[in-house]
Structure 1
Amino acid sequence: MEQTDHITNDNLAEREAKPAMLRGWRRKCPNCGTGPMLKGYLTVRDTCEVCSEELHHHRADDGPSYVTILVCGHILAPIMMYVFETWRPDTLVLTVSFMIAFVALALYLLPRIKGVFVGLQWAKRMHGFGRDAAQSPAE
């Protein structure tokens, strides 16, 4: 395939995924790393307040929720088994305490994992990130 004239060198430059994902984990703009990515708890800003990078292209959808549940379950399930086998607490105490721990961990991780998803999409130029304005969506 032949490259067209309206694609700039910036669009061809490789973006590193790891720094963009780490910036997303900190809930910062994947481009500059200083501007806030989120407004509120989970709403991604349309543009970065610092570098004016467009962030509205993201398509995080349900991915961060699924990954958050997966991570929380894999962290807390072995701990719950250890606590149960070691101290044999009352079932109600064990259930309520681990439900509270699960919700707290999920609330902590969810916006960070969403930031990682947006950072990865930005780095890989997915869903319109880095697309030239003159370039059609079919290209």
Structure 2
Amino acid sequence: MSDTRITQATRSSKTAMWRGFRRRCPNCGEGHMFTSFLKVVDRCPVCQESLSGHRADDGPAYLTILIVGHLLAPILIYSFVEYRPDPLVLATAFTIGTVGLSLFLLPRLKGLVVGIQWANGMHGFASPD
């Protein structure tokens, strides 16, 4: 198998972030980054790039809360003021929306954070140049 690793000087943050958001390897963009919902693979199955050095920690969860809150809070306030729905209907609809949007965004934002770390050579991603 050929070595397709990119040197630290040529790592593009924008490309790595987009590939991470798509839940793909930040190096090749082909291999899957996750083995399950949020478990990052140790090595890319395509290019064999090591992804075990990531330190995403709580960053993706904070970003998810920030985005979901900023998207749904204004909609919640607007719909309550304009339409005055039954509180149970409003609570049910926004609970489903919040959970659904959070489950959609969380793995994508984790991939984005891992892509940023990879592109900048942070933690265990330092290039052996």
* TM-score of the aligned structures, taking structure 1 as reference length: 0.85
Partner of 1:10: 7
- Following TM superposition, where does structure 1 have runs of at least 4 consecutive aligned residues deviating by more than 6 angstroms? none
1:82 to 73, 78, 82: 78
- What is the deviation of 1:78? 0.7
Structure 1 stretches lacking a partner, 5+ long: 1-8, 134-139
Partner of 1:64: 60
Q: Distance in 2 between matches of 1:10 and 1:67?
A: 29
Partner of 2:3: none
Q: Give the partner amino acid of 2:20.
A: G
Q: Is the 8 A contact 2:17 2:112 kept in 1?
A: yes
Q: Is 1:42 paired with 2:38?
A: yes
2:29 to 30, 33, 38: 33
Q: Is the 8 A contact 2:64 2:102 kept in 1?
A: yes
- What is the deviation of 1:130? 2.9
Q: Distance in 2 between matches of 1:126 and 1:81?
A: 40
Q: Is 1:99 paired with 2:95?
A: yes
Query: Sequence identity of aligned pairs in percent?
Result: 56
Q: Distance in 2 between matches of 1:56 and 1:126?
A: 12
* TM-score of the aligned structures, taking structure 2 as reference length: 0.91
Q: Give the partner amino acid of 2:7.
A: D
Partner of 2:114: 118
Q: Distance in 1 between matches of 2:16 and 2:7?
A: 16
Q: Give the partner amino acid of 1:129.
A: F
Q: Give the partner amino acid of 1:34.
A: E
Structure 2 stretches lacking a partner, 5+ long: 1-5
Aligned length: 124
Q: Distance in 1 between matches of 2:87 and 2:46?
A: 51
- What is the deviation of 1:115? 0.2
**How far does the alpha carbon of each residue in 1:32-64 deviate from its partner, in whole angstroms, 9 at most, with x for none?**
000000011000000000000000000001110
